[in-house]
Amino acid sequence: MPNIPSFTSLHDEGINLEGLLEILNPENNLVLADDMMVSDANGIILRVSETYEKNFGFAHDSIVGKSAFELEANGTFTPCITAEVIRQKKKISATQTINHSHKNVMTVGIPLFDAAGELKYAVCFNTVSMEQINSIQRNYRRMQDSLQQYSQEIAELRTRATSTNLVFKSAPMQRLWTLMQNTANTRANILITGETGVGKSAVAKAIHKMSNRAGGPFIEVNCAVLHENLIESELFGYEKGAFTGASSSGKIGKIELANHGTLFLDEIGELPPHIQSKLLQLIQEKTIERLSGTQKIELDFRLIVATNRNLEDAVQRGLFRSDLFYRLNVIRIHIPPLRARKEDIIPMAHQFLARFCREYGKALTCSPRFLAFLEEYGWPGNVRQLENLMERLVITAQDPILDLSVLPLEYTADKAAGAELLPGGTLAERMDAYEAQIIRDSYQRCHTTVAVAKDLGISQATAARKIAKYVNTRT
């Protein structure tokens, strides 16, 4: 067995190996020094770290004192980096296979020279195993996939936040958002349905901002507030002298103002029959004539309409033209009521609170009890009611934390009244009573199983079954 010099003698021979002993100590093995081997200029292995022996299954005597060239020849190392460092007298970095343990490791070998430039020692250390590399690569790919997913989500949220006022987390609204994205750049007419206050106008604006018409105008008309005698002139415009009191210069109508943009007709179900006919002609021909005008004006706009009425029922009762309904109902977007998507209530409340705090120069937060109330409240006025409540509280609140004590009387009264409606009994009995209340309220508003199903986000068969259970059997 060769005479193995001590590290003191190594240092005395003029080789600056200060700190090598410390690195090799098991308690101080760190990162690159975990698996380390030292040999002399002839390839005799003088020292290995304990982690080297442990990680690769070497007995101490099986490697220390052996020749690197011998270990290369018998296939212990392929290639043997120590042997290569001695041969080439330069730093070597390569993948070394330790056949004893069937492991591939990235190995770095460094030559150490004395003052005369003669090779004295070769120090090799393993940086990382191929198993670790593969694991790192797998983790990296997973991180990349996750990063891509997060980037897409962030981009979507940023788009939603900057270009729309829509805030949501619920699955129904996620599906609705996807439908909006898929149809935004089409020319198809869109019919938006839902209860009053669910945000039909916000959805229409969002579709416009996501479309290739975003640079054009967005013209919104609430058909319910227009006087029947004025609605035609407001929509189609008029030429000078069209009627008594008309502007001497005439007037461009709302439809014409929407050219190269989006026309949003809210409460479309309130249009009188003669305007329905003219709107049908407009959809078919994409031209209008102003009142008292003789010139046809060609227009290019995207039509979006909305209603809280059951248009199918209105068609059956002869209150709405069937041909117009089918022209409008190309893409149907139904917005669920706020009570059917409770996951959206808290994010919306925070958004409204932040907006109104900025507007009124206040800094307010919500208590957990307050947020719990918001989430459980029925919101008959939907998003509009939530928005109005948050503005009211920001204006009137005296304390920096919104709690149940700041709620208006009508909200606490509604809560008490709701509690009186629920009888005592087991949880199942109380839940059944609550479900019965919801079904009856919906049926009272919607009148048909189809409409109830859309209102509550359930199948028509389920709606029919629950109506038969809770409504038709009432005494």
pTM (predicted TM-score):
0.56
Instruction: Say what the pLDDT of residue 453 is.
Output: 81
DSSP H stretches of helix in 190-272: 200-210, 231-236, 254-257
Element (H or E) spanning 368, and its range? Answer: helix 368-376
From 303-307, 383-387, 441-445, 469-473, the region with the lowest mean pLDDT: 469-473
Q: How far apart are CA 120 and CA 337, in angstroms?
A: 82
| pLDDT band per the 50, 70, 90 thresholds, residue 427 | low
Q: What's the confidence (pLDDT) of residue 127?
A: 67
45-82 pLDDT tens trace: 998 887 777 777 787 778 889 999 999 998 888 899 99
* Mean predicted confidence (pLDDT) in 465-475: 70
Tell me yes or no: is domain 170-336 CATH 3.40.190.10: no
Q: Tell me: pLDDT of 366 over 70.
A: yes
Which pLDDT belongs to residue 31? 39
Query: For 67, which DSSP code?
Result: B
Q: Which of 268, 296, 266, 292 is nearest to 280 (CA)?
A: 268
User: Percent of the chain scored above 90 by pLDDT?
Assistant: 43
Q: Pick from 268, 256, 259, 254: which is nearest to 190 by CA?
A: 268
Percent of the chain with pLDDT over 70: 81
Q: By C-alpha distance, which of 165, 196, 189 is closest to 381? A: 196
pLDDT at 32 over 80: no
Is residue 20 predicted with pLDDT exceeding 70? no
Give the pair of three-digit tokens for residue 60.
């101490």
Residue 245: per-residue pLDDT: 60
Residue that is written with structure tokens 């009137």 in the block: 396
Cα separation values, 185 from 24, 173, 211, 265, Å: 66, 19, 5, 19
What does the domain layout of the chain look like in residue ranges?
Answer: 7-134, 170-336, 341-421, 423-475
Classify 38 as helix, strand or coil. strand
Instruction: Tally Cβ neighbours within 10 Å of residue 2.
Output: 13
Structure-derived torsion over alpha carbons of residues 315, 321, 324, 325, reported in degrees to the nearest 10: -10
In this structure, whether the domain defined by 341-421 belongs to CATH 3.40.50.970 is answered with: no
Q: What is the mean pLDDT of residues 247-269?
A: 88
User: Which of the listed ranges 43-57, 351-365, 402-416, 445-459 does the model predict with the highest average pLDDT?
Assistant: 351-365
Structural contact between residues 137 and 113, judged by C-beta atoms closer than 8 angstroms:
no
Contact between 255 and 300 under an 8 Å Cβ cutoff? The reply is no
Fold for 423-475, please state it.
Arc Repressor Mutant, subunit A (1.10.10)
Average pLDDT over residues 82-88: 93
Average model confidence (pLDDT) across the chain? 82
Mean pLDDT of 424-440: 72
Q: How confident is the model at residue 365 (pLDDT cuts 50, 70, 90)?
A: very high
Under CATH, domain 7-134 is a member of which superfamily? Answer: PAS domain (3.30.450.20)
* Strands of 324-427, DSSP E: 331-334, 365-366, 401-402
pLDDT computed for residue 295 by the predictor: 86
Amino acid, res. 88: Q
What pLDDT digit, counting tens, does each position of 188-220 carry?
A: 999 999 999 999 999 999 999 999 999 999 999
Q: Give tens-digit pLDDT for 128-155.
A: 555 666 666 777 777 777 777 666 655 5
